[in-house]
């Protein structure tokens, strides 16, 4: 059994009981299992922070490939998570929320700030489905294990369609880390949440034809005003994890996971 240091690994399953057993131990396996005529799989997404953006790489077991969707309660397993944990899904306009109660994800209403105003999330119906390829925001309750297990039927995960001059969630549905190399518009940003609660931001500069970060290279002579230099960086979205894409220009890159 390999430890979960590989960030995200698909797991071979004999039953869902195995998923829970290994996830609780913080371990991960590799492979798939056939259920009827469908290939099902699980993915362990290790993360040490309270908040984690997680991918939705599967469809409901028995669901179709034409418009693959999945119920949140089916794809995000509760093993290792404490009661009071939350899941959030952003449609681009509204937030939906679920709360873990009595071992089950239940629709919830949670307050949040939007443009400085108090808003409330929507409580989804029991059968509400999110599209395969979506991104969920997991908020673990204190005492929860450092990771989450995703499960479902394998499906072709659609590549995200970005919209110019917008802020969108994207997530890497694969088990391996993804190096983001597609060119953005000048000033576009990718913000990747880190386990310590911070967010690492990368900016695209057309003059450099690269993604990078502004780093202090000194100060203006005779002052304490910092001099910032653009440094080319490698942008990596961990397997099974999500990020924010901030579009500043009129054109957007094509993402192929």
Structure tokens at 201: 């931001």
Name the nearest CA neighbour of 9 among 55, 42, 54: 42
Bridge partners, 167 (sequence order): 246
The confidence score (pLDDT) of residue 3 equals 40
| Residue 118 half-sphere exposure toward CB, CA atoms < 13 A | 3
For residues 120 and 190, what is the distance between their CA atoms, to the nearest angstrom? 27
pLDDT of 17 higher than 60: no
CA torsion, points 72, 76, 77, 79, in degrees to nearest 10? -130
The confidence score (pLDDT) of residue 62 equals 78
The confidence score (pLDDT) of residue 204 equals 97
The confidence score (pLDDT) of residue 63 equals 74
* C-alpha 227, offset from chain centre: 34
For residues 28 and 76, what is the distance between their CA atoms, to the nearest angstrom? 16
% of the chain residues with pLDDT over 90: 55
The answer to whether the beta carbons of residues 47 and 195 sit under 8 Å apart is: yes
User: For the chain, how big is the Rg over CA atoms in Å?
Assistant: 19
pLDDT of 135 higher than 90: yes
The answer to whether the beta carbons of residues 162 and 168 sit under 8 Å apart is: yes
The confidence score (pLDDT) of residue 116 equals 79
Mean pLDDT value across the chain:
83
Residue 13 binned pLDDT confidence (cut-offs 50, 70, 90): very low
The confidence score (pLDDT) of residue 32 equals 53
The confidence score (pLDDT) of residue 37 equals 61
Q: How far is CA 92 from CA 56, 89, 222, in A?
A: 16, 9, 47
pLDDT digits (tens, 9 = 90+) for 20-31: 333 333 333 334
Among 53-57, 77-81, 177-181, 194-198, the range scoring the smallest mean pLDDT is 194-198
Its pTM stands at: 0.79
The answer to whether the beta carbons of residues 100 and 82 sit under 8 Å apart is: yes
pLDDT digits (tens, 9 = 90+) for 75-116: 999 999 999 999 999 988 889 999 999 999 999 998 877 777
For residues 253 and 181, what is the distance between their CA atoms, to the nearest angstrom? 9
Between 65 and 94, residue with greater pLDDT: 94
pLDDT of 152 higher than 70: yes
The confidence score (pLDDT) of residue 97 equals 95
pLDDT of 221 higher than 90: no
CA angle 182, 183, 187 (to 5 degrees): 130
């Amino acid at each position: 059994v390999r430890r979960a240091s590989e960030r995200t690994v698909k797991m071979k399953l004999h039953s869902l009981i195995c998923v829970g057993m290994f996830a609780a131990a913080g371990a991960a396996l590799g492979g798939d299992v056939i259920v009827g005529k469908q290939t099902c799989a699980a993915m362990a997404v290790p993360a040490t922070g309270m908040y984690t953006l997680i991918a939705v790489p599967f469809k409901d077991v028995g669901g179709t490939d034409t418009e693959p969707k999945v119920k949140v309660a089916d794809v995000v397993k509760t093993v290792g998570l404490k009661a009071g944990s939350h899941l959030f899904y952003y449609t681009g306009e509204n937030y939906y929320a679920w709360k873990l109660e009595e071992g089950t994800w239940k629709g919830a209403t949670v307050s949040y700030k939007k443009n400085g105003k108090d808003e409330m999330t929507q409580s989804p119906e029991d059968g509400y489905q999110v599209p395969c390829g979506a991104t969920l925001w997991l908020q673990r309750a204190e005492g929860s294990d450092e990771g989450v297990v995703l499960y479902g039927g394998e499906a072709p995960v659609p590549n995200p369609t970005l919209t110019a001059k917008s802020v969108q969630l994207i997530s890497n549905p694969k088990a391996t880390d993804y190096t983001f190399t597609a060119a953005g518009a000048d000033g576009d940003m990718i913000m990747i949440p880190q386990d310590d609660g911070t967010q690492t931001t990368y900016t695209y500069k057309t003059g450099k034809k690269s993604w990078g970060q502004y780093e202090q290279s000194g100060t203006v002579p005779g002052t304490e005003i910092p001099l910032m230099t653009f440094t080319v960086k490698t942008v990596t979205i961990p397997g099974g994890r999500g990020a924010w894409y901030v579009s500043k220009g009129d054109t957007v890159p094509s993402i192929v996971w």
